[in-house]
Amino acid sequence: MTCREFIDFLEAYRSRELPAPQAVEFERHMGLCPSCVSYLRSYEETIRLGRKALCDPEGPVPQDAPEELIRAILAARKKAQ
């Protein structure tokens, strides 16, 4: 599996919709590619922070939130109003 394929299959893997043979290849790639493991961690952290921001829209922004994520959330809130 290439890094590009890893990214393409990421959401299917996370939602447990990736067929078993591809899931095995996905996990094998994770064992060989620290860059993709890092990408997966930051992807999951982005989702976590996004969900946290939506749970309490008036609450404070987490200090560990990336600036780019903050700008994207604020822009989305503006569009929704």
Rounded Cα distance between 9 and 55, Å, is: 28
**Domain layout of the chain by residue ranges:** 3-80
Rounded Cα distance between 49 and 43, Å, is: 10
Q: What is the pLDDT along the chain (81 residues), one digit of tens a residue?
A: 999 999 999 999 999 999 999 999 999 999 999 999 999 999 999 888 877 767 666 666 667 778 888 888 888 877 766
pTM exceeds cut of 0.75? no
